[in-house]
A and B are shown apart, each in its own frame.
Chain A
């Protein structure tokens, strides 16, 4: 990547330093708290699957029982494995069934019992992590054997609500040119405090994220990858109240990318900020281990805020996402930082502004696989004008070296894309790639021209905003409506009751292994 904007390196360093300072208090909070979903993720990594007759997962049943009897301040692992050893239960499933029936006494063990419980828990969780490691190795092998598509990866969405409809659609999309398939979740799922079980055929504007749905879709994409001679990646959403658990399931079932933003759930789903930041850290530790590329959600801010006036909030959020991601162990190649082509086309020089923003993000994060989102807000229903706007989006994406290109639909905002909409959209991408795919090489904005000056201004504004965030604190900035023009106070939103402060003897075998690299 060639630097084209004349950004001041000292300014870039300052921006990162400010993001670190803004994020550190939040990280401290995440290190001293746990959540019900983190504890359930531990049980999932230890192999507890399935649900009771009402569809409530056994991980929820067991975690709730432990919480009620012994609290979760010490983590679920100590009391759960202590009870396993004491009661002679053959496995976690048997323990969960007995616990749900009120037949198990839980306590916080000490002395030799605590050591035994810790060792047993660590062994079980290690087995889950070994599966995640094996899936990561398998992905690497498949990419070597089958071939990795060149970037930008073409990203297409499938969302029928029925996994058995999604599969042929996803395979068709891959055959039409998609390198990444995202299965959008049912809109209600982010607010469910449990992960549904099994293959599902009913969803609203999307398909439930379940372990079985993950497995079915990955297997189908493995087939089509071999057929096409390129590895087709699968994406889902590690967001909402079950972010840690879904991250674990994604690692176990070899998903390749996961939507995972540090603030998205807070702002757009009204999930409690504290819960989100704690869950987010654990989920990113799991993603780091699984070799999953995260996709952040900054594009969403521009759907509520103005894409010119709020351009710097995107950069600020990207810097925060980068800080939190690296802190959790993700490497730069795993940071699919998001942004979007959302400037009102009626604004003069709108394309130049888009170029400036896209190039700025490219230069700020040279090693990150940036995810670039197409216009949605100014897609008016005039499908012909929309098709043109999508072509300009594609052009900007190729010119500025974006890594993951979400394909824009000319019928955005009208309906779930028709088969023909998707085909036309891919034709648009193919044309721009073939006609101007290498234009970036020859694109050199004037050092003091409009594009370079605009990019530098946005960076300056981002640094100013980061200074203000550092002064008042990140949680306060979110409460003030800094991002996405939506105000979210720290005590508001859903899920705060699932946050627990860790006690001195807190034990989480997954975190021990993820942080210790074992």
Chain B
């Protein structure tokens, strides 16, 4: 890979097969990206500005940007400088090595969600939601639960066959457990926005712990902008939803996990009850 000629040819061949790619600026394979960052360096004098720009370029080079160009540098107060850098990344992205948490369920229209619940449960599906711990940011849980919903989709309260109990903000986990038991909750939804000192991870683990011995244990669903959706198992919950999740996705997941279709009724493989929770329901 030492010779640029060979390297370019190799990349072009790889890209033909759509296996290995690079960022696209205005030409295939040009690898052009933009980054911005602040360094704790002053930019008062000519010498300081030169040093700062050099520092920014050194960082860019270590990030794999070669060549890189500082297109903007601006002092923020006496001690800091903000940089915008454009450059060409030398890295390749191997699509065959990318891992994604695939969605194991189809997104259903609300009418079908209702239908499936009626058919499978013969009663309303009970959902208890809360922001736990010190988190007072109900925006997430409300967006999913409130009739008003989010992103043009109505929240779970809107679904005729879902009964929603929204406990609101700053709910203690033991209170959530007893409410979930009292309401015979099929699922518990917890939203965590505050991430300072990893409070969201701490609370998610605490949630899994608290419900460990509850029988029947409700489905545990956690959501928040800073969660890694693939970390459900590690945190001891059934499902994690990340940023931008809509109520319909959550409703569809609940149905997938708790109200599976009768075997053979559906031919689409993605909905054939592959989820852990589906087996338990």
User: Which A residues form the contact surface with B (CB < 8 A)?
Assistant: 161, 172, 175-176, 186-188, 190-191, 204-205, 268-270, 303-306, 377, 381, 413-414, 416, 418-420, 423-424, 485-486
Contacts and interface: CB of A to CB of B under 8 A. Distances in A.
A141 B94 CA distance: 67
Interface string B107-140: 0000000000000000000000000001111110
A187 B76 contact: no
Contacts, number: 68
Interface in B211-231: 225
Interface stretch (B22-30, B55-63, B141-149, B248-256): B141-149
Contacts of A485: 142, 146-148
Contacts of B137: 187
Contact of A268 (B135, B147, B169, B197): B169
B82 interface: yes
A413 B249 CA distance: 21
B6 interface: no
Nearest to B36: A420
A268 B138 CA distance: 8
Nearest to A240: B136
A485 B76 CA distance: 41
Interface residues of B, number: 28
Contact of B77 (A176, A191, A269, A377): A176
B139 A269 contact: no
B178 interface: no
Contacts of A186: 134
Nearest to A494: B170
B18 interface: no
Contacts of A424: 82
Interface in B73-95: 74, 76-77, 80, 82
Given A420-B76, A485-B147, A187 B134 contact: yes
Interface in B35-87: 36-38, 74, 76-77, 80, 82
Interface string B146-163: 111000000000000000
Contact of A205 (B38, B77, B169, B194): B194
B148 A270 contact: no
A413 B195 CA distance: 11
A304 B139 contact: yes
B199 A204 contact: yes
A507 to B, nearest CB: 35
A157 to B, nearest CB: 14
Contact of A381 (B74, B139, B243): B243
Contacts of A414: 225
Given A187-B134, A190-B136, 9 more contacts: A176-B77, A268-B169, A270-B169, A270-B170, A416-B196, A419-B38, A420-B76, A485-B142, A485-B148
A420 B38 contact: yes
B148 A418 contact: no
B31 interface: no
Contacts of A423: 74, 76, 82
Contacts of B82: 419-420, 423-424
A304 B36 contact: no
B194 to A, nearest CB: 5
Contacts of A188: 134, 136, 170
A416 B193 CA distance: 12
A269 B82 CA distance: 38
A188 B136 CA distance: 7
Given A188-B170, A485-B148, A418 B38 contact: yes
B77 A304 contact: no
A424 B138 CA distance: 28
A204 B243 contact: no
B168 interface: yes
Contacts of A306: 148
A175 B196 contact: no
A419 B80 contact: yes
Contacts of A191: 170
Contacts of B134: 186-188, 204
A303 B244 CA distance: 15
A416 B170 CA distance: 20
B279 to A, nearest CB: 35
A220 to B, nearest CB: 16
A207 to B, nearest CB: 11
A269 B169 CA distance: 6
Nearest to B155: A485
Contacts of A268: 136, 138, 169
A269 B168 CA distance: 8
Interface string B1-39: 000000000000000000000000000000000001110
A194 B139 CA distance: 26
A486 B129 CA distance: 14
A7 B75 CA distance: 47
A416 B76 CA distance: 17
A477 B271 CA distance: 44
Contact of A172 (B77, B138, B199): B77
A430 B98 CA distance: 44
B145 to A, nearest CB: 10
Contacts of B74: 423
Given A306-B148, A418-B38, A270 B225 contact: no
Nearest to A377: B139
Contacts of A381: 243-244
A304 B194 contact: no
A306 B148 CA distance: 8
Contact of B170 (A176, A269, A419): A269
Contacts of B36: 420
A417 to B, nearest CB: 12
Contacts of B37: 420
A191 B142 CA distance: 19
Contacts of B136: 187-188, 190, 268-269
Nearest to A346: B152
Contacts of B146: 304, 485-486
A464 B249 CA distance: 37
Interface string B179-222: 00000000000000010110100000000000000000000000
List 4 A-B pairs, minimum CB-CB distance, nearest first: A188-B134, A187-B136, A420-B82, A423-B76
15 contacts: A175-B77, A176-B76, A176-B77, A187-B135, A187-B137, A190-B136, A191-B170, A204-B134, A204-B194, A270-B169, A304-B148, A413-B225, A414-B225, A416-B196, A423-B82
Nearest to A189: B134
Given A381-B243, A420-B76, A303 B139 contact: yes
Nearest to A270: B168
